């Protein structure tokens, strides 16, 4: 018998963290006991969690799908099966071993350090580049042979010098091999050691596993890939649906390195093309078939048709990405999960509007000439969404909340602390209106650790400051839970054993239980955490409005010389001007109320809490 659907709804956002994603399946299943998951988002491994949760919500009540299947995923990834999903290509395989050895994650258990890590790196170099190491060793070997011939104390001196030359030569030779792999083989494979597809005889890679798992959770294991349109309609129909009417809304972040900016996926932009031969090295055959079968984009104008014709006529033809509802979910997940060096970046193409050739092509087209050149295309690289927003807590923020947006953060235990047997003690969350203390990162002050620690902290801060700053804001901090991890858990620990994965999965469930318990539970007055959250959000917005309204009134007064009926650009219809005039009058009236001398005390009280104050500003849609 099918269980009744929860009457409540919620949104969930998850942070990126490579293998830390094993936290999310049971957390999402725990949320799903009390809520329908309406909107899910994340970046990197958080995007995986979001996609699996969205698929499970779509498959709720379907044979083989839903949250019962989602809960079983951590158990399926133990005993080396997680590491088996990350398969390096033949030429980049040695680099994977070196990378894991250098970070101390080349075996289960605690990350090695000091001498143990040095031994691991040396072994990885010799295994990965034996010929280069041997060539580098030849001068030293020749010196050792000479020492044997010379004999005596002179031979000992020659032998000692030859041994030094041997060790240096091995290091230099292997280093040359590493440099060759890094500069030739890694760029040729999309700047990654693993493409995401399985290698011959190695079983499925993580992209293939993702594609299969997403479909299985959605209750369509043997059908074509799950599309965004399926999520939006909640059934088998594929259609564009307004955001507020979607059955399940899934969003994630990817980073365009070429344009130095993030993008929110699925995007409405129709400016990107893909090369099928390139993408066939990154996506399974069934995903490529779904892209090929997607109908032509809706409402494309004649200029877009001209670009499509030019793209199809290239020696290596390009195809425009389909409309969002026709995009396979696994495509955007893979574009969000491209951890630098470990996983290949994803190439797309766009018309090069700066090139002289494109400008000449546009001029010829506008002049009605057929003898103009074709537009020129340029490659753009997309990589891990965590570069710009590893914890995109802003994704579903509205002026006032109509349902909770829960967020699962990831953090590390402080030095000296170890995981407790009770997983509820391995998480941090706010039980009051106060904020959880910010994460803390120790920076050594001596040795190489001081240098690497300082610059590592600087890099992390440059990536995460925007996300981290929001976590202390009122109306944000009470809906975030931080799941703590030790050095042997999550991150680059590809070789986590079954019990470790099970503990992380249970910790995720405890995190979700903490938030749902707070938001659904009542205090002594019968007030739920959800009641309090809505009130705090309202108070925070009211506290921010006076400053914004004053700034609006000042700016509007400075526009007195501009005529809305004859503007410099972006003219408005009569109907639009009428609406704008009504809104303008309301805003100026509100600003006047704020500045009224009789309201100063009330405005002061209004802006006195909650702290810290937030600000209202326009930001572009990613």
Look at residue 467 in the predicted model and tell me its pLDDT: 85
Residue 384 designated active-site: yes
Can you spell out the DSSP letters for 30-53?
HHHHHEEEEEEEEETHHHHHHHHH
pLDDT at 386 (0 to 100): 92
Percentage of the chain lying above the pLDDT 70 cut: 98
pLDDT of residue 549 exceeding 80, the answer is yes
pLDDT given for residue 314 in this prediction: 94
Q: Is 65 helix (H, G, I), strand (E, B) or coil?
A: coil
Query: Percentage of residues in the chain with pLDDT exceeding 90?
Result: 66
Q: Which residue has the higher pLDDT, 377 or 18?
A: 377
| Distance from C-alpha of 39 to C-alpha of 34, rounded to nearest angstrom | 15
- pLDDT tens-digit readout, 378-428: 999 999 999 999 999 999 999 999 999 999 999 999 888 899 999 999 999
Report whether pLDDT(513) > 80: yes
Report the pLDDT value the prediction gives residue 619, as an integer from 0 to 100.
84
pLDDT reported for residue 14:
97
Residue 307 tokens, joined: 């670009």
CA distance 231 to 299: 22
Q: State the average pLDDT over residues 362-367.
A: 89
| Backbone phi and psi for residue 462, each to the nearest 5 degrees, phi listed first | -65, -30
Tokens 């949320």, located at residue: 31
From 384, 412, 430, 478, the catalytic residue: 384
Query: Is 399 within 8 Å of 545 (Cβ atoms)?
Result: no
Residue 443 in this model has a pLDDT that exceeds 50: yes
Return the DSSP state at 190: T
Question: What's the rounded mean pLDDT across residues 66-78?
Answer: 93
Indicate if 44 belongs to the active site. Answer: yes
pLDDT tens-digit profile of 276-318?
A: 999 999 999 999 999 999 998 877 777 888 899 999 999 999 9
CA pair distance 580, 471, nearest whole angstrom: 35
Residue 2: the pLDDT is 59
Q: Please state whether beta strands 377-383 and 249-256 pair in parallel, antiparallel, or not at all (unpaired).
A: antiparallel
Spell out the residues 6+ positions from residue 123 whose beta carbon is closer than 8 angstroms to its own.
Answer: 101
Residue 49 above 50 pLDDT? yes
Is 0.85 surpassed by the pTM of this model? yes
Q: At 348, list the tokens.
A: 């797309």
- Do residues 511 and 481 touch, judged by C-beta distance below 8 A? yes
pLDDT in the model for residue 598: 66
pLDDT of residue 91: 93
CA distance 276 to 457: 39
pLDDT at 350 > cutoff 90: yes
Out of 292-306, 325-339, 523-537, least confident range: 292-306
Query: Of 66-75, 86-95, 433-442, which range is least confident?
Result: 433-442
Catalytic hit among 20, 44, 112, 412 = 44
Label residue 113 by pLDDT band (50, 70, 90). low
Count the alpha carbons within 13 Å of 60 in the hemisphere toward its beta carbon: 21
Q: Is the pLDDT of residue 87 over 50?
A: yes
The better pLDDT of the pair 511, 303 is held by 511
3-state secondary structure 164-188: HHHHHHHHHHHHHHHHHHHHHHHHH
Domain layout of the chain by residue ranges: 16-71+203-337+379-389, 93-188, 405-455+465-520, 530-606
Question: What mean pLDDT comes out for the span 264-285?
Answer: 94
Q: Quick one: which of 613, 479, 470 has its CA closest to 542?
A: 613
Q: What residues are paired with 350 via a beta bridge?
A: 378
pLDDT at 500: 93
Q: pLDDT, tens digit, for every residue of 446-494? A: 887 888 889 888 888 888 888 888 888 998 999 999 999 998 898 888 8
* Whole-number pLDDT of residue 338: 92
Q: How confident is the model at residue 46 (pLDDT cuts 50, 70, 90)?
A: very high
pLDDT at 1: 43
Q: What is the DSSP string of 69-99?
A: HHHTHHHHTTTTHHHHT--B-TTTHHHHHHH
- Measure the CA–CA gap between 219 and 40, rounded to whole angstroms: 18
Q: Record the tokens describing residue 55, joined without a space.
A: 């698929």
Q: What are the tokens at 59?
A: 């498959």
- The arithmetic mean of pLDDT across residues 93-99, rounded, is 92
């Amino acid at each position: 018998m099918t269980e009744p659907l929860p009457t409540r709804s919620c949104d969930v956002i998850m942070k990126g963290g490579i293998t830390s994603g094993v936290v999310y399946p049971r957390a999402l299943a725990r949320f799903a006991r009390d809520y329908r998951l309406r909107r899910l988002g994340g970046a990197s491994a958080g995007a995986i969690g979001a996609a699996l949760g969205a698929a499970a919500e779509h498959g709720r009540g379907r044979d083989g799908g839903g949250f019962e299947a989602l809960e079983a995923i951590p158990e399926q990834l133990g005993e080396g099966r997680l590491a088996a999903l990350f398969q390096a290509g033949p030429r980049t395989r040695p680099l994977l071993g070196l990378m894991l050895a250098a970070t101390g994650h080349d075996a289960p258990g605690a990350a090695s350090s000091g001498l143990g890590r040095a031994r691991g790196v040396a072994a990885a170099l010799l295994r990965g580049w034996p010929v280069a190491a041997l060539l580098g060793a030849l001068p030293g070997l020749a010196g050792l042979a000479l020492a044997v011939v010379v004999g005596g104390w002179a031979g000992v001196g020659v032998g000692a010098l030859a041994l030094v030359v041997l060790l240096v030569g091995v290091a230099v030779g292997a280093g040359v091999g590493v440099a060759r792999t890094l500069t030739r083989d890694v760029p040729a494979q999309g700047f990654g050691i693993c493409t995401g597809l399985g290698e011959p005889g190695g079983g499925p890679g993580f992209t293939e596993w993702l594609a299969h798992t997403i479909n299985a959770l959605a209750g369509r294991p043997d059908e074509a890939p799950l599309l965004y349109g399926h999520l939006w309609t909640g059934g088998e129909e594929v259609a564009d649906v307004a955001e507020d009417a979607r059955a399940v809304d899934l969003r994630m972040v990817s980073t365009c390195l070429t344009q130095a900016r993030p993008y929110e996926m699925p995007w409405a932009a129709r400016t990107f093309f893909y090369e099928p031969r390139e993408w066939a090295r990154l996506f399974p055959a069934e995903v490529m078939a779904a892209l090929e079968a997607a109908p032509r984009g809706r409402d494309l104008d004649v200029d877009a048709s001209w670009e499509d014709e030019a793209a199809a006529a290239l020696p290596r033809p390009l195809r425009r990405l389909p409309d969002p509802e026709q995009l396979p979910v696994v495509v955007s997940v893979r574009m969000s999960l491209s951890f630098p060096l470990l996983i290949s970046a994803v190439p797309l193409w766009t018309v090069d509007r700066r090139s002289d050739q494109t400008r000449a092509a546009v001029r010829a087209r506008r002049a009605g000439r057929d003898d103009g050149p074709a537009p020129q295309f340029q490659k753009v690289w997309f990589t891990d969404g965590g570069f710009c927003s590893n914890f995109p807590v802003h994704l579903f923020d509205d002026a006032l909340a109509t349902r909770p947006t829960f967020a699962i953060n990831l953090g590390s235990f402080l030095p000296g602390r170890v995981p407790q047997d009770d997983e509820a003690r391995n998480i941090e969350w706010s039980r009051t209106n106060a904020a959880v203390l910010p994460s803390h990162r120790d920076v050594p002050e001596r040795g190489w650790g001081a240098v690497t620690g300082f610059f590592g902290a600087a890099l992390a801060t440059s990536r995460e400051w925007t996300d981290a700053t929001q976590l202390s804001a009122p109306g944000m901090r009470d809906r975030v839970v931080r799941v703590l991890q030790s050095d042997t858990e999550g991150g680059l620990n590809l070789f986590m054993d079954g019990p470790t994965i099970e503990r992380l999965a249970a910790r995720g469930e405890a995190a979700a239980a903490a938030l749902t318990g707070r938001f659904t539970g009542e205090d002594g007055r019968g007030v739920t955490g959800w009641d309090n959250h809505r009130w705090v959000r309202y108070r925070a917005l009211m506290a921010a409005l006076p400053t914004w309204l004053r700034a609006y009134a000042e700016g509007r007064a400075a526009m007195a010389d501009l005529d809305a009926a004859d503007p410099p650009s972006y003219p408005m219809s009569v109907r639009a001007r009428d609406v704008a005039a009504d809104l303008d009058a309301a805003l100026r009236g509100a600003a006047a109320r704020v500045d009224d001398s009789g309201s100063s005390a009330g405005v002061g009280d209004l802006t006195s809490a909650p702290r810290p104050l937030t600000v209202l500003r326009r930001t572009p849609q990613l």
